[in-house]
Chains A and B, each alone.
Chain A
Amino acid sequence: MMKLLKLIVLLTSIGLFTAFTLTSVGTGYKIGDSIEDFSLLNTNDAMVSLGDYENAKGFIIIFTCNTCPYSVANEDRIIALDTKYKTQGFPVIAINPNDPAVVPDDSFEKMKVRVQEKGFTFPYLLDVGQKVYPKFGATKTPEVYIVTQNDLKVQYIGAIDNSSRDATKVTEKYVENAVAALLANKKIEKTKTSAIGCSIKKQ
């Protein structure tokens, strides 16, 4: 009986471990990887692909959503990033990775409402069927991937800055520093940072 129990525990842990590694750790794009372009529905009902942006130098791709308080706390900072860097060739592309069936307030209709309320200056795309975020290996909102346009290579993964909960306490702006380095053809000092976020919701 004990042996059987042990076997069950072992098999379950292997199962869990595999499930865990497949969904979050170990897979997904790493720094230097070339990403696959995507085509996702924007809140203006048009499809958006990175290939549409012929004149861009790169992209600030941000997985975010309506409902995560850490995302909401960063909305103004995301708008500021787009305002500052779109004209310099690095527009923000926001993607909501959550399954609206699990989080109704992250539905496409509610996304449209949020875009109006906040006056988003950037596309806000729904990852319909949740096919895109797993390729990135994103695990939470908000989470940023900076990608250069010519080679679609990942240059930065992580947080917007070093104080997600309180914008007034920011002392290091990771994304701004990374984009500034790319614009100046310099090496990005911090290519990978961590921040607290809401786990991406799936069924």
Chain B
Amino acid sequence: MKLKSIFLCVIFLGLISCKKEVAKNEKTNIDTSHITVKSYDYNELKPLLEKKDDKTYVINFWATWCAPCVKELPAFEKLNKQYASKNVEVLLVSLDFPKQVEKKLIPFIARKNLQSKVVLLDDINEDVWIKAIDSSWSGAIPATIIYNKDRRNFYEKTFDYQTLESELQTFLKQ
């Protein structure tokens, strides 16, 4: 009984803090109405991971609750900005909980003013698609793919801007 009330309190506190966040958003005039995040299953996402055009793609698997992912996001955002004119595109594939898209993911995108494209990967059978994305992937995030029509590399690691940029450079030199 005691546990139940503690649990309820926690939920209640959670609700309050969410409300505060919304209020803060309103105060700073952050409008989330223009933000939508498309949800893909793996078969729908797959074509985005193997395009054969002239661009180089940087695909980052992340989630709002993943601290090291959030920490490295600015590097991907900067890369997206700096290399947009150089045929490079960044795609942020969120592994947030589908139920938290409205509550967490979209407000996060608004708050951080993310410019890179964000999609949600919502697919059970992780075992199938994790192995399909890369046989070496343990499933830990963050994880990143850099690819173009000639080459593809998978990284189960965190990046800072410098390392990310020098890795991207090796794709652009070819």
**Shortest Cβ gap from B137 to chain A (Å):** 7
Please pick, from B68, B126, B140, B141, the residue contacting A159 in the complex, using a CB distance under 8 A.
Answer: B126
Q: Residue among A20, A69, A140, A174 with the most chain B CB within 10 A? A: A69
Kindly state whether residue B55 has any CB partner on chain A within 8 Å: no
User: A103-145 interface mask toward B, CB cutoff 8 Å, 1 = contact, 0 = none?
Assistant: 1000000000000110100000000000000000001100100
- A24-B156, A199-B140, A199-B141 are known contacts. Are A162 and B126 too (CB-CB below 8 A)? yes
Question: Known contacts being A69-B97, A199-B68, is A170 close to B124, with CB within 8 Å?
Answer: yes
| Contacting pair A194 B127 (CB below 8 A) | yes
* Bound Cα distance A153, B98 (Å): 37
- A181 contacts the other chain (CB 8 A): no
Contact A119 to B127, CB < 8 A, known contacts A20-B157, A69-B97, A197-B139: no
A201 to B157 CA separation, bound complex (whole angstroms): 12
Complex Cα–Cα for A132 and B63 (A): 27
The tally of CB-CB contacts under 8 A between chains A and B is 91
What 0/1 readout, one digit per residue, does chain B (121-134) give for beta carbons within 8 Å of chain A?
01011110011000
CB neighbours of B68 from chain A (8 A): 199, 201
Q: Establish whether residues A140 and B97, one from each chain, have CB atoms under 8 Å apart when the complex forms.
A: no
In the bound assembly, the distance between CA atoms of A67 and B3 in angstroms comes to 19
Query: Is B7 an interface residue when CB atoms closer than 8 A count as contact?
Result: yes
Interface residue count for B (Cβ, 8 Å)?
29
**Residue B17, interface by CB 8 Å:** no
Within 8 A of B (CB), among A16-69: 16, 20, 24-25, 68-69
A96 within 8 A of B: no
Chain B residue at minimum C-beta to C-beta distance from A165: B97
Contact between B157 and A196 (Cβ–Cβ < 8 Å)?
no
Least distance between B96 CB and chain A CB atoms (Å): 9
Q: Does A166 contact B (CB under 8 A)?
A: yes
Which of these, A24, A73, A162, A171, contacts B138 with CB under 8 Å?
A24
Are A195 and B139 interface neighbours, CB within 8 A? yes
Interface size on A, residues (CB 8 A): 37
Distance from A192 Cβ to chain B, minimum over Cβ atoms (Å)? 9
State in angstroms the CA–CA spacing of A184 and B43 once bound together: 36
How far apart sit A172 and B126, CA to CA, in the bound complex (Å)? 11
Q: What CA separation (Å) do A194 and B114 show in the bound complex?
A: 29
Complex interface: chain B residues within 8 A of A24 (CB):
138, 140, 156
B141 and A196 contacting across the interface, CB-CB below 8 Å: yes
Q: Tell which of A16, A20, A143, A169 touches B124, judged by Cβ atoms closer than 8 Å.
A: A169
B158 to chain A, nearest CB (A): 8
Given contacts A20-B157, A25-B136, A140-B139, contact A194 B126 (CB under 8 A): yes
Whether B126 contacts A119 by the Cβ 8 Å rule is: no
The residue of chain B having its C-beta at the shortest distance from the C-beta of A192 within the complex is: B127
Given contacts A69-B63, A190-B127, 19 further A-B contacts (CB under 8 A): A16-B157, A20-B156, A116-B3, A117-B6, A117-B7, A139-B138, A139-B140, A140-B138, A163-B125, A165-B98, A170-B124, A172-B125, A194-B127, A194-B137, A195-B127, A197-B138, A197-B140, A198-B141, A199-B66
Residues of A within 8 A of B (CB): 9, 16, 20, 24-25, 68-69, 73, 103, 116-117, 119, 139-140, 143, 158-159, 162-166, 169-172, 174, 190, 193-201
